[in-house]
Structure formats: structure tokens, C-alpha cells
Amino acid sequence: MDAYNIQDVLTELKTMPQQKDVDLITRACYFAYKAHEGQKRRSGEPYFSHVFETAKNLARYEMDATTIAAGFLHDVIEDTSVTEEALEKEFGKEIVQLVKGVTKLGTVKYQGHVRHVESLRKFLMALAQDYRVLMIKLADRLHNLRTLEHVREDKQRRIALESIEVYAPLADRFGIGKLKSEIEDAAFPYAYPKESAEVEKILADRIDGLKKSLDDVYTELNDALKKSHLHVKKIDYRIKHKYSLWKKLKERNMNIDNIYDVVAIRVIVETVEECYATLGIIHSLWKPLPARIKDFIALPKLNGYQSLHTTIFTGNGGIVEIQIRTEEMHGRAEFGIASHYIYKEKSAKKAADEKFQWVSEFKNLGKSETGTDDFLKHLKSDFFSDRIFVFTPAGDVIDLPEGSSTIDFAYAVHSDIGNKASGARVNGKFVSLDTILHSSDIVEIETRKDGTPKSKWLDITKTTLAKKHIRTYIKEHEEESIFTRFIPKKFR
């Protein structure tokens, strides 16, 4: 135990924990240490180092004491002689539930495809019950990724790809941008070694020049804001993380000059009004690129992200993006649902349920009777493919997978509207129902009282929800017609 100082975990917490929380975390730490005693990681390090780092990651993400304790204990049932009953006796039901939810994925036992998907399904079900399971799993995965060099090569790639395709999008859907970036960047070199090296090189060649334009803007902006009466909390900058830079580079012919937010200045101010005032000051100093002024405060991203973005010409050839937000928005952008701003308001679980409608969609998906392959397919296409955000005429945001049609939209609003849809208007223009939607379209559906779903709609819909409703309707309708055809009227 000497090599591990519990204080290292506690100091990651921004707010000082209460004594009872310190006690719980300490108890879990010692319990895990004893349980894993003698076990070693592939790296030769004691196994305990893994659960210690997992707990530390959880503390870094400002999780509550119960979750941090469960982080220490997350491998105890599966990898040691400690039983579920023994753990429950020592730490209670809540912690056992969390530990059980973090079903190990991709261990040797679960290598078969079906078993693997099955454990993923179980994991997602547990996650839908309590989002803290996800946080433990992500903290666990992050440490595994950071020690991936010690793992067999064929496994490295599989774990890295799974992290990028499943875990990072999950972190993103909960708005935990920082964790998403950390997972992607830890996995990137193993998932795509060649591409990762290429991005490293492109960035290295450019970074000095980028930092120079950044410095110039920073100095001038800092002076101007000081002269204003705004309460500036912080001005700093971020460099786009490597995996997301690579994704953008692919879209832009691998030319870094076509990407305007490789570096971005971040201004944190006190209030929303001050965000807009700051934007005004910036635009009076530099010319903005017109199409790149984005108001995510009035129109937040679906994962809750809020900020004002603008991109300016520095005047000496450079282009710099500036992001403006309040401290609270900043906390949410980095920590999402784990942000202590949300925490303090209500239980984090409740906040997650209210804020993230798709969590309940998860629950329904897990319950359906489709086969495991179907389940994974739906999961990938519905939740992890790129999303578009479109609007109802009243300004409500509807979140759909890319490639969705007006029919998908209609069903997303209400099954009745889907079933009775007869026409659609996109951005005020009449269009056919098979029209593919794009982000920020305003969509209006016309319905007819006697309208019914058509079987060809199955080909022009993308979401499982719409297809399900269409199939159900057609099936019921078919049964009805068989009924009418073969059964004499008096028996009906």
C-alpha cells in the first residue's frame, strides 16, 4: 500500500469531501488492495495500480464518493475470490449494483461475438438504470488504454477501435467532452497507427505558427477586455485534440489550412449577457468570417453544449477561432452530466434521465426482443452514427441519425403524426416525403385524417422507431384484411 497514497485520489476532487466520504473511499481503497494482493497486470505492475488509477480518474471527473469507492472495487467480484454477498455486506447494495453494472467487456471469456454483444447489451441496460456505471466503465477503459502498450498487438487494435466506436460516442452523448477526447487520443495511435503519426507530423509542422497568431490575438483581446467592465474569469486556449483533427483533415483534403479551429481561444465570463458583450468587442476589433458565427447559447447542441463561437481574421494572414462561455457552460462542456453544477442541483441520475431522452430510448431498445445482431446494428445506426438536428416549426430540436427522411422526423415527433403523414414542408417549401433532412432544417408535417403508413416507407426511413411503427401498423392492417376476407360478417 506504501506506493499508493489515498491523498492522490482525494486531491483530484475540487471540493473538499466530507469526512464520511473520505472514510468510504479509504475503506474501499484498502479492501481492494487486500482483495487484489498478489495479482499482477501484464505490465508487471500490481493489479491494484489499475483500480487505483480508475478511482483517480473518477475523482478527476468530480464523481461522488460512492462512485469513487465503486471504482476501487470494480474488478473485485470478477477477478478475486470476494463474493457478491461479501461485498454487499461490507459496502451495501448501491455499490454492488454499480460494480455489477460494470460487466467486463472483451475479456477472454467473452470473446465470442454473441457473448460479447450480449455483455454489451447488459452493460447498456445497467447504464440506462444508473449513468454512474458508464463513468466507472469509461474511467476503467481510459486507464486500460493508457497501458495498452503491454497488451498483445491484435488485442490492442480491437480494444482501441471499440473505444473509439462505442465508448467515446457514449461519453459524447453524455456531454463529457473532455473524457471523450481523452479516450479518443489514447486509442488513436493503436486504432490507426499510420494516420495518427501523420496527424502528429502535420500538427508539429504548424503548431508554432498557430501559437504565434494566437499570442497576438490573446494580447490584444486581453487588453480590450481589461478596459471593458466585463467580469472575465479566464482567457486560455485549447489545441484541437488529435483524433478530431484527423477526422476534420479527412473532410478537408488533409489540408490543415482549411481547418479554422485547430487552436481556439476560450474566454470565460460571468453571465450570458457578458458572453454577447464579449462577442461584440471581438467583432469591433477583428473582422469575423460571416458563416462561422455560431450561437450555441440560444441554440445549444443536443448534448447540452453551450458557447458562442466566432472565427476572426487576425489581420496578418492568420485565422483564429474564439469561444465565449460562462463558467457553468464551461463545466458542462468538459464534464457534461458529471459537472458539479448539475450535481448540486439534483441527483445526477435524475438529471441524466431528464436531460437525455435517448437514455430512455436505450432502455426500450434493451427490452425489445430483437436478436443480438439486430440489437448491435440498431445501436450503431441509431445512437452512434452522426446525428443531425432539425427543428419543428415551434423551434423544438429533434435529434435524428444522418440520412433520416421527413417520415423519420414525423415519427420522432409522434407516432400519430407519422402514421397520418401526407406531405411535408422543409424550410417553407413543399417536398416529397422521402426527402432527406439536413441539420437546421425546419420541418413541418401535414397529416390527413384517413392517412395510413405505406410499406414503401420502410425503404425511405432510417430510424428503428419509424420502421417499428410502420411494420406494426401494416401487420395489424393485414390481419384485419384477412379477417374481413375470410370470416362471415355475422361472426365478426
- Residues recognised as catalytic: 78-79
Minimum distance from CB of 160 to Mn ion (Å)?
A: 16
Residue 12 Cβ, how far from Mn ion at the closest point, in Å? Answer: 18
Closer CB to Mn ion, 54 or 404, in the complex: 54
22 φ, ψ to 5°? -60, -45
Exposed / middle / buried, residue 124 (Cβ in 10 Å: 0-12, 13-18, 19+): buried
375, amino acid identity = F
Check if the beta carbon of residue 210 is closer than 8 Å to that of residue 202: no
Q: Considering the complex, what minimum distance in angstroms separates the CB of residue 140 from Mn ion?
A: 4
* Per-residue cell: 122: 447488459
The DSSP bridge pattern shows strands 319-326 and 263-269 to be: parallel
Q: Which is nearer to Mn ion, 106 or 300 (CB)?
A: 106
User: Nearer to Mn ion by C-beta: 140 or 321?
Assistant: 140
Q: Rounded to an integer, what is the distance from CA 419 to the centroid of its chain?
A: 31
Angstrom distance (rounded) from CA 437 to CA 305: 22
Helix (H) or strand (E) holding 309: strand 308-313
In this complex, which beta carbon is closest to Mn ion, that of residue 52 or of residue 391?
52
Nearest residue to 330 (alpha-carbon basis) of 386, 264, 387, 393: 264
CB of 338 to Mn ion, least distance (A): 19
Looking at the Cβ atoms of 140 and 382, the one nearer to Mn ion is: 140
In DSSP terms, which residues pair with 63 in a beta bridge?
Answer: none
Q: 398 forms bridges with which residues in the sheet? A: 390
Cell digits for 85?
Answer: 454477498
Could you tell me the smallest distance in angstroms from the CB atom of residue 101 to Mn ion?
Answer: 13
Cell (9 digits) for 6: 489515498
In 3D, which of 297, 262, 260 has the Cα closest to residue 279?
A: 297
Q: Which residues of the shown chain bind Mn ion in the complex (CB under 5 A)? A: 75, 140
Question: How many whole angstroms separate alpha carbon 50 and alpha carbon 68?
Answer: 13
Instruction: Please report which residue ranges of 1-45 form alpha helices under DSSP H.
Output: 6-10, 19-35
Nearest CB to Mn ion, comparing residues 77 and 342: 77
HSE at residue 329, side-chain half, CA atoms within 13 A, is: 23
Q: Measured between alpha carbons, how far is 460 from 403 in angstroms, rounded to an integer?
A: 9
Nearest residue to Mn ion by CB is: 140
- In whole angstroms, the minimum distance from the beta carbon of 74 to Mn ion comes to 6
